[in-house]
Amino acid sequence: MIAKDMLAQIQQAPLAERIQFIEVILKSLKDDIKSGISGRHRRKAFKVRKFHLGQEVRCDRDEIYAERG
C-alpha cells in the first residue's frame, strides 16, 4: 500500500509530473504483461485437440431448452 505522505506528494505535484508518473507505471505494467508475469498467475500455453464424433451433430437451441422444462 502506498504511504499516505507519498500519496499526498503525488496529489500536490503539478499535472505534468502526475501524468509522467502514470506513464511510468503504465509502461511497467505493460512490460510485466509482455513478459508473462501477471502477479500470482502465469499463463500457460495449451493445444486444442480435434476429434470427430462420427457424424455431424446439429443442435437446435429451442429443442434443447424445451427438454429442460
Residues 43 and 49 sit within 8 Å (Cβ to Cβ): no
Contact at 8 Å (CB) between 52 and 41? Answer: no
pTM of this structure: 0.45
Question: Is-contact 42 36, C-beta < 8 A?
Answer: yes
pLDDT tens-place string over residues 53-64:
787 777 788 888
pLDDT value of residue 69 = 65
Supply φ then ψ for residue 41, to 5 degrees.
Answer: -105, 135
State pLDDT tens for residues 21-41.
Answer: 899 999 988 888 787 655 556
Sequence-distant (≥ 6) Cβ neighbours of residue 38 within 8 angstroms: 32
Task: Evaluate whether 43 touches 36 at the Cβ level (below 8 Å).
Answer: yes
